[in-house]
Amino acid sequence: MIAASEALNQLSSGWFLDHAYLIPIVPAVCFFIIILFGKRLPMKGSEVGVLSMVASLVLAGGTAMQWIDRVNSASEGQFISPVVHTWNWWQIGGMKFTIGQSIDGLAVIVLVVVAFISTLVQIYSLEYLRGDRRYTHFFAALTLFSAGMLAMVIAEDTILLLLGWEIMGLCSFMLIGHWWEDGANSRAALKAFFTVRTGDMGLLVGISMLYFASNDWTTENLGVSGFSIRGISAWALSGEPNSTVILVVSIALFIAAIGKSGQFPLHTWLPDAMAGPTPVSSLLHSSTMVVAGVFLVSRLYPVFFTGFDILGTGGNFITIIGGITIVIAAALAFVQNDIKKVLAYSTVSQLGYMMLGLGAGAWLPAVFHIFTHAFFKACLFLGAGSISHSASHHSFDMKKDMGGLRKVMPITFTTWIISTLALCGVFPFSGFFSKDEIIDNVGNNGYNTFMIIGLIGAFMTAAYMTRATYLTFFGTARGASAGEHHDEHDAHDAHDSHDSHAAASPHESGLLITVPLMILAVLALSSGFLNATPFGEKWELIKKWVEPSSAVVMETAPGGPGHSAALSLPKAEEGHHESPCGSETPEEGVCYAPQLQHAKFKWSKAAISLGIVFFGMLSSWFVCVALYTKKDKRLVGLTQRNGALRAGYKLLDNKYYLDTLYENVIVKAIAGPIAAGAYWFNNNILDGILHLVARVSRTVSGWVYRNIDQRVVDGTVNNSGRATRGVGGILQPVQSGKVSQYGALLFSAAAVAALVLVIINS
């Protein structure tokens, strides 16, 4: 039924695409350079770090450009095969382990994001960490981290993916624990590494199961080992795997994603990870590392697609986890005083959005959200860093040390406002094009309940971000930003040496900090237009470049880019290509990506969500104004001193202050008890379980060690020693020293022996 397919164009390729493997190699080599010669270099290794990042950025940019040409050169509906180069790493017991690069749309977009953000953060930390004791170590770890992340992104096989994944885990451990003199930091680093590591167990088990399940199919059909991601994706969609195996594999891999991207059960480490220096938080814990989990799900999307049967059901494991994360993270953000904790919880909540999108089949919006979220979240974090760096003497406490900074730090303020609007998803900003797109597609794909959760999430995001903005930039200056000099320094006094020059009063940070802020703010504003679905088809560039085409690929030359027969695609209504992949398995040929629907953009739906967002902002603004500036005694401490006695009085009051109570019901009700409850739940139950497990395993191991090891096993050994000595004791009297006794014994024995002999012989 293959119609006369249009002539298949030869896909253009280029130097950058073919040598994309250099992108991770350059920072890796620079890591060793910094480690070995860092101390002796003029700028103590930081210039090597920045240069390596710039080089990777250039390479990534080149790869992106050439990938775009490649996409344009392909004809309508033709399968754009990824650029794959593999090398034989090692071979053991008939199993070939290959290592190599596989560049497709997803890889390109994440490459660009990671390289770009890493470069900006390294430039930013030139200033931020000047004078720090382990300046070189910091840059070494940052470069190694970028190498790990980039290696993971371009990985063609799951082993390299695992390698990159673990290296990132290691670097996050080193970077969070950068100022490890103070116990809290090292504990946070340890906690981060444990939680991620427990997630990695899922990855380890998932990869081995995937390998053994898919190996024979992939080697026979595609000539690639069971480790290669393309092979696995094709195998997942080929209807070959039995449902239980692929379900178990998807759950195992998703556990790893939960661990890394801080989703619901394993998110407790992310807010504590704020103990690390701000550039680390902005790079690792907002835009790159935590996205690795989302990247894993999107990379191996076919496995999850069949595993959780995404288009089939109304809600699956991923969406549930995503939904829960959105809500509880947003609720927690209300209660925080530390600005970085607010941003951390907001990251967790945005990751919840991405997971929700992926779980509900909105693959492209989720990936696009990674793209946009990276920019405005990094900008927010760097903004927080600049505030602490130049205004509030390294304290991040909004209530104590900030307030009224809009006049004093104009650039930081404007960039902060732009990014906040982008985060909340206000129309012209990038957040709108990605977050609303997710909510829209989730609803379209039949996950209505989760769409509502998304909307609630959007509302709460708007609310807590306004509260945070109000506390930092509006109202009266408090604490350090009001010029008082703190006597006690908080955790980050380690690099106090360079504070001598900064005048006590808050001021705008230096160029090295504000320039990255401005770049990121511009991107936060403009990046949305790359995939502006509201403005019609031709604006959706990212969709064209990034979304893996789900055409059926006929025979594929093993290893090489397979040429695809563009099937005559039944013309579904405009904007959709109905191809067999995903809905049912193709008879012959192979699919690499499932066929996903795209919600038709309608302004009516967009208006609803915009309305909700504005409403959230306004209500939160009024509450903040009432609570923090006018110190309205009714509101202040309302939640603290509620008692039975006052209940009657309040009931009367209500009739008069219906609107304020209404606000309390909507804003405070949602913010107060749930957030406090969630926070309590979060600290006591989840962390409690963790500590309980640690204590139990310690006591069990103590008991096991003392009883089984010492008493039982060692005991038997020592007892056998004592037993032999006992027997020796019994026999000792025989050795009496009396010669005659020996003679007697000798002869009596001889007599007995003779007797026995005689009896036997006769």
Partner 1 sequence: MLVNQFLLLAAVLFCIGVYGVIARKNAVLVLMSIELILNAVNLNFIAFALRNGSTDGHTFALYVIAIAAAEVGVGLGLVLLVYRNRKTISLDDLSEMKG
Partner 2 sequence: MEMLRDENWVLSVGTFLPMVGVLLLLIVPKANDQLIKMVALFTSIATLAVGVFTLFKFNFDQAGSMQFVAENKWIPLIKSSYFIGVDGISLPMYVLSMVITLLVVIYSLNHIPSPGNPKAFFILMLVLQTGMAGTFIAQDLILFFVFFELVLLPMYFMIGVWGGENRQYASLKFFLYTMFGSALMLVAFLALFFKTGAESFAIPYLVENGGAIARNVQIWIFAGMFIGFAVKVPMFPFHTWLPDAHTQAPTQGSVILAAILLKLGTYGFIRIAIPILPEAAKAWAPYIGGLAVIGIIYGALGCLAQTDMKRLIAFSSVAHMGYVMLGVSTLTDFGMSAAMFGMVAHGLITGMLFFLAGSIKERYHTLEISRLGGLLTQMPRMGWILGMASMASLGLPGLAGFWGEFPAILSAYNPADGLNVTVFRVYMVIAALGTVLAAAYLLWLFQRVAFGEPKAEFAGGAHGADDHGSGHGHSQFEDVNKFEWIAWTPLLIAIVVFGVVPNLLFSMIDPAVHGILAGFKG
Partner 3 sequence: MIAQNIGFAIIAAVMIIAAVRVVTTSNVVHAALWLVVVLSGVAAQYILLAAEFVAVTQVLVYIGAVMVLFLFGTMLTRSRIGRDSGLNNTYWKLGIPVALVLFAAMAVALVNSFGDERMPTDDNIVSTQQVSDQIFGPYLLPFWALSFVLLAAVIGAIVLARKD
Q: Which residues bind partner 2 (CB under 8 A)?
A: 89-95, 133, 159, 162-163, 166-167, 170, 173, 177, 180-181, 183, 186-187, 190, 193-194, 197-198, 201, 204-205, 208-209, 211-212, 497, 697-698, 700-702, 704-706, 709, 713-714, 717, 721
Q: What does 739 bind: partner 2, partner 3, partner 1, none (CB cut-off 5 to 8 Å by kind)?
A: partner 1
Pick 504 or 750: Cβ nearer partner 3 = 750
Q: What does 752 bind: partner 2, partner 1, partner 3, none (CB cut-off 5 to 8 Å by kind)?
A: partner 3
572 binds partner 3 (CB under 8 A): no
Rounded to a whole number of angstroms, the minimum distance from the CB of residue 752 to partner 3 is 7
Secondary structure string (H, E, C) spanning 669-696: HHHHHHHHHHHHHHHHHHHHHHHHHHHH
What is the enclosing helix (H) or strand (E) of 741?
helix 739-761
Pick 242 or 735: Cβ nearer partner 1 = 735
Rounded to a whole number of angstroms, the minimum distance from the CB of residue 680 to partner 2 is 27
CA 401 to chain centre: 30
Pick 64 or 151: Cβ nearer partner 2 = 151
734 binds partner 3 (CB under 8 A): no
Q: Six-digit token pair at 629?
A: 């500036």
Pick 608 or 757: Cβ nearer partner 3 = 757
For residue 377, the one-letter residue type is K
750 binds partner 3 (CB under 8 A): yes
Rounded to a whole number of angstroms, the minimum distance from the CB of residue 749 to partner 1 is 12
Q: What does 216 bind: partner 1, partner 2, partner 3, none (CB cut-off 5 to 8 Å by kind)?
A: none
Q: What does 755 bind: partner 1, partner 2, partner 3, none (CB cut-off 5 to 8 Å by kind)?
A: partner 3
Q: What does 762 bind: partner 3, partner 1, partner 2, none (CB cut-off 5 to 8 Å by kind)?
A: partner 3
Q: Six-digit token pair at 20?
A: 């994309």
Q: What does 701 bind: partner 2, partner 1, partner 3, none (CB cut-off 5 to 8 Å by kind)?
A: partner 2
Q: Residue 276 gets which letter from DSSP? A: S
Pick 25 or 452: Cβ nearer partner 2 = 25
Rounded to a whole number of angstroms, the minimum distance from the CB of residue 730 to partner 3 is 21
Pick 719 or 741: Cβ nearer partner 3 = 741
Residues 6+ apart with CB under 8 A from 536: none
CA 79 to chain centre: 30
Which residues of the shown chain bind partner 1 in the complex (CB under 8 A)?
A: 732, 734-740, 743-744, 747
Q: What does 648 bind: partner 1, partner 3, partner 2, none (CB cut-off 5 to 8 Å by kind)?
A: none
Pick 652 or 739: Cβ nearer partner 1 = 739
Rounded to a whole number of angstroms, the minimum distance from the CB of residue 705 to partner 3 is 56
Rounded to a whole number of angstroms, the minimum distance from the CB of residue 719 to partner 1 is 24
Burial class, 133, CB count within 10 angstroms (exposed 0-12 / middle 13-18 / buried 19+): middle
Rounded to a whole number of angstroms, the minimum distance from the CB of residue 201 to partner 2 is 5
752 binds partner 3 (CB under 8 A): yes
Rounded to a whole number of angstroms, the minimum distance from the CB of residue 718 to partner 1 is 25
CB 30 within 8 A of CB 54: no
Residues 6+ apart with CB under 8 A from 80: 11, 70, 71, 74, 104, 105, 548, 549
What CA–CA distance (Å, rounded) separates 426 from 610?
6
What CA–CA distance (Å, rounded) separates 401 from 388?
9
Among the residue ranges 325-333, 335-343, 353-361, 754-762, the one whose residues contact partner 3 (CB under 8 A): 754-762
Rounded to a whole number of angstroms, the minimum distance from the CB of residue 726 to partner 1 is 16
Among the residue ranges 32-40, 335-343, 512-520, 740-748, the one whose residues contact partner 3 (CB under 8 A): 740-748
What CA–CA distance (Å, rounded) separates 103 from 20?
8
Q: What does 758 bind: partner 3, partner 1, partner 2, none (CB cut-off 5 to 8 Å by kind)?
A: partner 3
Q: What does 736 bind: partner 1, partner 2, partner 3, none (CB cut-off 5 to 8 Å by kind)?
A: partner 1
Secondary structure string (H, E, C) spanning 545-575: HHCCCCCEECCCCCCCCCCCCCCCCCECCCC
Pick 184 or 754: Cβ nearer partner 3 = 754
689 binds partner 3 (CB under 8 A): no
Rounded to a whole number of angstroms, the minimum distance from the CB of residue 715 to partner 3 is 43
Q: What does 337 bind: partner 1, partner 2, partner 3, none (CB cut-off 5 to 8 Å by kind)?
A: none
Secondary structure class of 664 (helix, strand, coil): helix
Rounded to a whole number of angstroms, the minimum distance from the CB of residue 137 to partner 2 is 9
Q: Residue 540: beta bridge partners?
A: 531
CA distances from residue 435 to 353, 427, 536, 739 in whole angstroms, order as listed = 7, 11, 18, 105
Rounded to a whole number of angstroms, the minimum distance from the CB of residue 278 to partner 2 is 21
Rg value, the chain, Cα: 32
Q: What does 737 bind: partner 3, partner 2, partner 1, none (CB cut-off 5 to 8 Å by kind)?
A: partner 1
Secondary structure class of 87 (helix, strand, coil): strand
Residue from 395, 386, 381 nearest 347 by CA: 381
CA distances from residue 665 to 612, 644, 647, 654, 658 in whole angstroms, order as listed = 17, 18, 15, 11, 10
Q: What does 757 bind: partner 3, partner 2, partner 1, none (CB cut-off 5 to 8 Å by kind)?
A: partner 3
Residue from 621, 158, 695 nearest 420 by CA: 621
Across 422-478, the runs of DSSP E, i.e. the strands, are none
CA distances from residue 510 to 124, 125, 360, 637 in whole angstroms, order as listed = 10, 12, 44, 39
CA distances from residue 410 to 386, 465, 477, 508, 518 in whole angstroms, order as listed = 12, 18, 15, 7, 11
Q: Residue 92: beta bridge partners?
A: 95
Q: How many CA atoms lie within 13 A of 163 on its CB side?
A: 19
Number of residues that bind partner 3 (CB under 8 A): 13
Q: Residue 538 gets which letter from DSSP? A: G
735 binds partner 3 (CB under 8 A): no
At 87, phi and psi to the nearest 5? -125, 150
Rounded to a whole number of angstroms, the minimum distance from the CB of residue 733 to partner 3 is 14
Q: What does 709 bind: partner 2, partner 3, partner 1, none (CB cut-off 5 to 8 Å by kind)?
A: partner 2
Pick 128 or 474: Cβ nearer partner 2 = 128
For residue 513, the one-letter residue type is I
Pick 504 or 753: Cβ nearer partner 3 = 753
Indicate which single residue of 629, 697, 724, 748 sits in contact with partner 3 (rule: CB under 8 A). Answer: 748
For residue 321, the one-letter residue type is I
Indicate which single residue of 503, 733, 740, 760 sits in contact with partner 3 (rule: CB under 8 A). Answer: 740
What CA–CA distance (Å, rounded) separates 186 from 81?
45
What is the enclosing helix (H) or strand (E) of 83?
strand 83-92
What CA–CA distance (Å, rounded) separates 478 from 481?
6
9 binds partner 3 (CB under 8 A): no
736 binds partner 3 (CB under 8 A): no
Q: What does 656 bind: partner 2, partner 3, partner 1, none (CB cut-off 5 to 8 Å by kind)?
A: none
Pick 694 or 750: Cβ nearer partner 1 = 750
Among the residue ranges 303-311, 379-387, 440-448, 745-753, the one whose residues contact partner 3 (CB under 8 A): 745-753
744 binds partner 3 (CB under 8 A): yes
What CA–CA distance (Å, rounded) separates 136 from 41?
10
CB 333 within 8 A of CB 346: yes
Task: Annotate 382-420 with b (16+ C-beta within 10 A) or e (fewer).
Answer: bbbbbbbbbbbbbbbbbebbbbbbbebbebbbebbebbb
618 binds partner 3 (CB under 8 A): no
Residues in the site for partner 3, rule: CB under 8 A? 740, 744, 747-748, 750-752, 754-755, 757-758, 761-762
